[in-house]
Amino acid sequence: MKNTQLLKKLIESKKILVMPGIFDGYSARLIDQSGFSAGFISGGGLSETLLGYSDVGLMGYELNLAAITRIAACTTIPLLADADTGYGNAVNVFHTVRTFEQAGVHGLMIEDQTWPKRCGHLSGKEVISSDEMAEKIRAACDARIDPNFIIKSRTDSFATHGIKEVINRLNQYAEAGADLVFADALLSEKDIHTVCRNVSKPLCVNMGFGIRRRSTTPLLSPHRLEELGVAVVIYPRLLTACAIQGMKHGIETLQKTIQSKNVIERPDLAVSFEELNALVGFEELQTLEKRYTINNTKNLKNKKIPSKK
């Protein structure tokens, strides 16, 4: 089964699909090797880690495409990427979907914000008309080469127009061909349940993680979300937040080492060199290196090939 087919099957399953956020090669390989069925390449995660600035539309098409191409090359699980607003009108969306599919991801999210967009849990969002967004979704569906390539439509209209508009827009986007719909920044469990009951395609929601989060949507377990009718839950900020916290601990320990003039051993703060190499495929690269060294190549040439008789 191709990964596009697998992702579609996972979305349509009665069991909720949990997709952690991916933002680089480390996080991609960790999610792949940890037993998760699929991953979500976070646009905000890419923008903030690559540029060092908040997710307010500073990352463009080319930087996003280059990043997701590299991530797709080192993973085996289905990946759903974030293409922001599609980088223009319906024609731009057509081009974006075609190139992102060719880059190796298995689905793409497009949102109905105006450009420059911003993180869904930040204030000051604006949305385009639902008719214009529906045309973008139609273009996205027409652009895909594999009919199972997932088109995910996101609306940020809850903050600007309210829940009725969210439902109307998501159904309009579903009618235009979206396989998965997403209402960002809903305010309550009741809102999530209401949207679930009134949209015609599987619903995705966005969850934060941890007690310090400051986004708008309340934290609910995957089990509870499944009970409410949610098909997919993404955790786009989890690993970026954990990475920052881990680096802060490392920096703090280094500073203490400098001040005390003694080595402070804190193996609990970092993975071993061996574990790091295992994560990033060093053994696989060593195998290739041995296979293609000059001496081994000569030995292979000199070795007689057994007859097929």
Residue-by-residue pLDDT tens, the chain, 309 positions: 999 999 999 999 999 999 999 999 999 999 999 999 999 999 999 999 999 999 999 999 999 999 999 999 999 999 999 999 999 999 999 999 999 999 999 999 999 999 888 776 767 689 999 999 999 999 999 999 999 999 999 999 998 999 999 999 999 999 999 999 999 989 999 999 999 999 999 999 999 875 445 557 889 999 999 999 999 999 999 999 999 999 999 999 999 999 997 888 899 999 999 999 999 999 999 999 999 987 765 555 555 545 544
d(CA 185, CA 292): 52
Closest by Cα among 42, 59, 57 to 207: 42
d(CA 85, CA 110): 5
CA atoms within 13 A on the CB side of 23: 22
Q: Rounded to an integer, what distance in angstroms lies between the CA atom of residue 135 and that of residue 280?
A: 41
Quick count: other Cβ atoms within 10 Å of Cβ 20? 20
Q: Where are the domains of the chain?
A: 3-236, 271-302
pLDDT for 24 equals: 97
CA dist., res. 22 & res. 71, Å (int): 9
pLDDT at 303: 54
**Cβ partners under 8 Å of residue 217, min gap 6:** 121, 185, 186, 187, 192, 205, 206, 207, 208
State if pTM tops 0.75: yes
Question: At which residue do the structure tokens 């973008």 appear?
Answer: 136
- Rounded-to-integer distance, Cα 292 and Cα 288, Å: 6
**Pairwise CA distance, residues 108 & 219, whole Å:** 25
Q: Which two tokens stand for residue 147?
A: 């009919």
pLDDT of residue 261: 79
Q: Is the peptide bond before 116 cis (omega within 30 degrees of 0)?
A: yes
Residue with tokens 């070795």: 303
In total, the chain counts a number of residues equal to 309
SS (H, E, C) 40-62: EECHHHHHHHHHCCCCCCCCCHH
226-195-222 Cα angle (round to 5): 20
Q: What is the pLDDT of residue 89?
A: 97
Second-level CATH architecture of 3-236: Alpha-Beta Barrel (3.20)
Q: Say how far apart CA 264 and CA 247 lie, in whole Å.
A: 16
β-bridge partners, 113: 127
Over residues 111-169, the pLDDT tens digits come to: 999 988 877 676 768 999 999 999 999 999 999 999 999 999 999 999 899 999 999 99
Cα separation of the two ends of the chain = 35
